[in-house]
């Protein structure tokens, strides 16, 4: 760590904000000593809000049909080798029932942008989950929809929405997506979700093609101003059915570094240690927690379809039962001094000591 990077880190810890060029400099000049300093402060910041609690979300991957063609994604429409599936309302309700019995109090319904899930169908699914599990939160991660659709889903009971912004740099967005996809529309969706009253999650992949310290600095500035309730960042992992075959060296370390920076920018944020991080490093999720994450998202999808929801190669836990996933994560969380809790896990805006 140089004197200059130490000074920048101290400003971040004190002020929770930096100029863009300082974020880029921290990323470019980072070393183990700097990463350790930021991780220590990030853990302290997390503990002030959440103690040692780690929240768990049951991920139900409801469909891998997708009308989009994001260049990095294994379920993009032009991947002809992808065997498509979608779950019925009954199957989704069964996953949630199993999850509830295992202690999950948040269900995340995620899928490709699949026209089958009209507002009517999706509202019916959301309302049913809320009716059957009134003490649980329902999170949607179903991509870009129009404002009135988001409103209807909110009115049906959806509590949270995850929509990674993917990159806050317009030119970078253009290189990761086909021309018919719009940076402005994605950003407008996030704004609409916030205005409607959802707890909103944004996020991005680390190590995505054409990413630079400057594009990452733009992401961090966006997080500073948007102040999301959740922030999903995980490594980009190549999928053989896409044009992007390479993952930069050091992606796991950079992901952990950025988790610490994000925790320091916005201390109460709900920050997952992602399955993708566990995919590229055997202790990836533990390292994510040590860097300041406080959420894990094990899979509740039926085992028969898990392999088919393949956003990237070598995805973890595709052959395991949900209970096995939960037990495995429980042990991993305990190994780093935290505890997996049964709670909805909403964002806490007040520090624990002051409650
Ligand atoms: N369709 C919804 C949407 O667009 O938000 C949700 C599903 S989408 C597949 C969920 C997330 O997967 C994306 O936001 C993206 O960041 C991530 N993802 C896609 N391909 C990936 C890859 N190759 N490696 C890591 N993450 C990936």
Q: Do you know the residue count of the chain? A: 355
Total domains in the chain come to 1
pLDDT per residue over 316-325, tens digit each? 888 888 888 8
Distance from residue 355's CA to the centre of ligand 1 (Å): 36
Q: Are 118 and 97 in contact (CB under 8 A)?
A: no
Query: Region 169-198: what's the mean pLDDT?
Result: 98
Ligand 1, atom 3, residue with closest C-alpha: 143
**pLDDT for the residue numbered 217:** 98
Q: Which of 80, 152, 73, 151 is nearest to 113 (CA)?
A: 73
Task: Tell me, yes or no, whether 217 lies in a domain.
Answer: yes
Task: Name the pLDDT band for 232 (thresholds 50, 70, 90).
Answer: very high
Centre of ligand 1 to C-alpha 209, Å, is: 14
Ligand 1 atom with least separation from CA of 164: 14
Confidence tier at 258 by pLDDT (50, 70, 90): very high
Which of 17-26, 126-135, 322-331 comes out lowest in average pLDDT?
Answer: 322-331
Q: Which residues line ligand 1 (CB under 6 A)?
A: 72-73, 110, 112-113, 141-143, 163-164, 166, 205, 234, 236-237, 239, 276, 311-312
Atom 14 in ligand 1: which residue has the minimum CA distance? 164
pTM of the model: 0.98
Residue 85 lies in a domain: yes
Instruction: Tell me if 283 is assigned to some domain.
Output: yes
CB 136 within 8 A of CB 85: no
33 C-alpha to center of ligand 1: Å?
A: 32
Closest atom of ligand 1 to CA, residue 73: 20
pLDDT of residue 140: 99
What pLDDT shows up at residue 354? 59
- Domain-embedded: residue 346: no
CA of 4 to the centre of ligand 1 (A): 36
* Residue identifier of the C-alpha nearest atom 25 of ligand 1: 236
Domain annotation covers residue 38: no
DSSP 220-281: HHHHHHH--SEEEEEE----TTSS-----TTHHHHHHHHHHHHHHHSTT-B-B--HHHHHHS
Query: What is the phi-psi region of residue 16: left when phi exceeds 0, alpha when psi lies from -120 to 50, beta otherwise?
Result: left
What is the extent of the structural domain holding 72? 50-341
Q: Whose CA is nearest to atom 12 of ligand 1?
A: 311
Q: What is the mean pLDDT of the chain?
A: 97
Q: Is residue 20 part of a domain?
A: no
Q: Whose CA is nearest to atom 2 of ligand 1?
A: 143
Q: Which atom of ligand 1 is nearest to the CA of 312?
A: 23
Residue ID of nearest Cα to ligand 1 atom 8 = 112
Distance in Å, CA 169 to ligand 1 centroid: 17
Residue 353 has pLDDT above 70, yes or no: no
Q: Are 86 and 111 contacting, i.e. CB atoms less than 8 angstroms apart? A: yes
- State the pLDDT at residue 352: 81
Residue 29 maps to a domain: no
Ligand 1 geometric centre to CA of 300 (Å): 17
Give the whole-angstrom CA distance, residue 96 versus residue 270: 22
Mean pLDDT throughout 219-237? 98
Question: Residue 207 C-alpha to ligand 1 middle, in angstroms?
Answer: 13
CA separation, residue 355 to residues 62, 218, 227, 348, 352 (Å): 38, 34, 22, 10, 5
Indicate if the pLDDT at residue 262 is higher than 70. Answer: yes
234 CA to centre of ligand 1 in angstroms: 10
Compute, in angstroms, the gap from residue 73 CA to the centroid of ligand 1: 6
User: pLDDT per residue over 11-61, tens digit each?
Assistant: 999 999 999 999 999 999 999 999 999 999 999 999 999 999 999 999 999
Say what percent of the chain tops pLDDT 90.
95
Kindly write down the DSSP assignment for every residue of 95-138, as one continuous string. HHHHHHHHT--EEEEEE---TTS-HHHHHHHHHHHHHH-TTSEE
Mutual orientation of helices 20-28 and 213-226 as an angle, nearest 10°?
130
- Tell the residue nearest (CA) to atom 20 of ligand 1: 73
Question: Is the Cα dihedral 321, 326, 328, 329 positive or negative?
Answer: positive
pLDDT recorded at residue 325: 87
Residue 165: CATH number of its domain: 3.20.20.70
Which residues are paired to 234 by β-bridges?
205
pLDDT of residue 321: 86
Of the given ranges (34-38, 227-231, 304-308), which has the lowest mean pLDDT?
304-308
Confirm whether 171 is domain-assigned. Answer: yes
């Amino acid at each position: 760590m140089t004197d200059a990077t130490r000074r920048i880190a101290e400003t971040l810890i004190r002020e929770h904000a930096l100029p863009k060029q300082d974020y880029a400099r921290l990323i470019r000049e980072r070393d183990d000593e700097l990463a350790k300093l930021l991780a220590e402060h990030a853990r302290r910041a997390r503990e002030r809000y959440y103690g040692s609690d780690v929240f768990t979300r049951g991920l139900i991957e409801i469909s891998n049909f997708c009308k989009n063609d994001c260049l990095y994604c294994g379920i993009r429409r032009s991947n002809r080798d992808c065997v498509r599936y979608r779950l019925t309302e009954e199957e989704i309700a069964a996953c949630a029932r199993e999850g509830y019995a295992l202690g999950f109090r948040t269900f995340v319904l995620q899928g490709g942008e699949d026209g089958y899930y009209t507002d009517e169908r999706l509202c019916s699914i959301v309302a049913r989950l809320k009716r059957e599990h009134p003490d649980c939160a329902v999170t949607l991660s179903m991509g870009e929809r129009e404002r009135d659709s988001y409103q209807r889903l909110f009115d049906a009971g959806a509590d949270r929405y995850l929509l990674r912004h993917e990159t806050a740099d317009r030119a970078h967005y253009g290189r990761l997506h086909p021309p018919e996809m719009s940076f402005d529309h994605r950003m407008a969706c996030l704004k609409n979700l916030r205005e409607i009253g959802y707890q909103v999650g944004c996020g991005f992949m680390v190590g995505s093609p054409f990413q630079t310290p400057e594009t990452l600095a733009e992401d961090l500035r966006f997080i500073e101003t948007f102040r999301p309730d959740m922030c999903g960042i995980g490594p980009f992992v190549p999928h053989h059915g896409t044009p992007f075959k390479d993952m930069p060296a050091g992606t796991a370390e950079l992901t952990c570094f950025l988790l610490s920076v994000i925790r320091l920018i916005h201390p109460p944020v709900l920050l997952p240690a992602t399955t993708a991080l566990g995919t590229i490093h055997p202790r990836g999720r533990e390292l994510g927690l040590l860097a300041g994450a406080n959420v894990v998202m094990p899979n509740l999808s039926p085992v028969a379809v898990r392999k088919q929801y393949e956003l990237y190669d070598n995805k973890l836990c595709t052959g395991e039962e949900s209970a096995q996933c939960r037990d495995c994560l429980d042990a991993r969380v305990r190994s780093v001094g935290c505890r997996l809790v049964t709670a909805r896990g909403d964002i806490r805006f007040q520090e624990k000591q002051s409650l």
